[in-house]
Amino acid sequence: MKTVRTAVQAAQAAINGAHSKGPKTPEGKVASSLNALRHGLSAKQLLLPGEDANEYERHLDGYFVTFAPATLPEAVIVAQLGDTAWKLERLSKLESGRTLASLDDAVEKTPEFERFVLTRRALQAVSAFVEIADACPAPQDEVQTDALLAAVEGTMKIVYEVPELPKAVSQPLAFSLAHARETSKDGRMLPDAYRALGNAAKALKGALTAKLAEDEGALAPVRERLAAEVLLLDDVDLRKLERHRKLLETAMQRQLGLLDQLRVQVAAVKAQNPAEAKELRVRLRLVK
């Protein structure tokens, strides 16, 4: 399993490694510190559940390509920048999710949404009976017949709760239900009465499907109207996220400043080498 950690912890691992009695040459010391940095990546999870390690790798690669660090300190700061930017992107997703959740809560309190829910519930009930009518023959005993008729009656009660549904839409099924009751003998339902129930239910299903589309369309302007209001809500969670955003943005500015200072210091010693930057990025890569 791949694990990652922040560059701050990686740098600390490199510092701790300096206290050991390791290589004496400059090249050996650099290699040793890079090993400590690399193995430190497995010390703590940076990614949250659901986040992709490969996506994080590509994200961090972009920062190494853009800033092209030429020394270990520069590489650590660039990794810090990448970590901070990753956290800022995560924060934006959290803010968006929290805002959408608040908007959904507001929409669900409107009469338009209640109408949509009642229509959807009726459509689900009618659709369930249509499936039964298509798949099963007419009931031939009293228990089955009573159960089927009771189910249709319950479905009709749900249909009658749908606001602004014309009576002409539900009447055919109501008439077919009454006819099936009247013509049932010895607990057996006539095939013609059963087919009439099924056909009436299919017609009602089509009407409810069309109405559900209309009700769903009516929600669009409601969401647009409430969106601006939700953005102005005094949301405690959003305020917390905003404070975190400011802290991360401040950290990023500080990291950029440190990177500039380092480059000024090393500019007279060594020119930046893209190949070396790539090598540093490889050494900072995730480990298994």
* 203, pLDDT greater than 60: yes
DSSP string, 218-287: HHHHHHHHHHHHHHTS--HHHHHHHHHHHHHHHHHHHHHHHHHHHHHHHTTT----HHHHHHHHHHTS-B
Per-residue pLDDT at 16: 46
Residues 6+ apart with CB under 8 A from 212: 116, 119, 120, 123
pTM: 0.60
Could you tell me the pLDDT band of residue 218, with boundaries at 50, 70 and 90? Answer: very high
Cα 277–Cα 280–Cα 284 angle in degrees, nearest 5: 140
Q: Is 188 helix (H, G, I), strand (E, B) or coil?
A: strand
What's the mean pLDDT in 148-167?
A: 94
Per-residue pLDDT at 288: 38
Q: Is 3 helix (H, G, I), strand (E, B) or coil?
A: strand
Return the higher-pLDDT residue of 133 and 29: 133
% helix / strand / coil in the chain, to the nearest 5?
A: 75, 0, 20
* 137, pLDDT greater than 80: yes
Could you tell me the pLDDT band of residue 241, with boundaries at 50, 70 and 90? Answer: confident
Tell me the pLDDT of the chain averaged across its residues: 79
Could you tell me the pLDDT band of residue 5, with boundaries at 50, 70 and 90? Answer: very low
Per-residue pLDDT at 52: 87
Q: 57-72, pLDDT tens digit by residue?
A: 899 889 888 888 888 8
Give me the residue spans of the domains in the chain: 51-109+252-266, 110-232
R_g over Cα of the chain:
33
* 11, pLDDT greater than 90: no
What angle, 0 to 180 degrees and rounded to 10, lies between the N-to-C axes of helices 111-135 and 191-231? 150
* 37, pLDDT greater than 90: no
Per-residue pLDDT at 263: 83
Q: Is 185 helix (H, G, I), strand (E, B) or coil?
A: strand
How many helices (H) and strands (E) the chain has is answered by 10, 0
Q: What is the CATH number of domain 110-232?
A: 1.20.120
Per-residue pLDDT at 205: 96
* Dist CA 205 CA 123 (whole Å): 6
* Dist CA 157 CA 144 (whole Å): 20
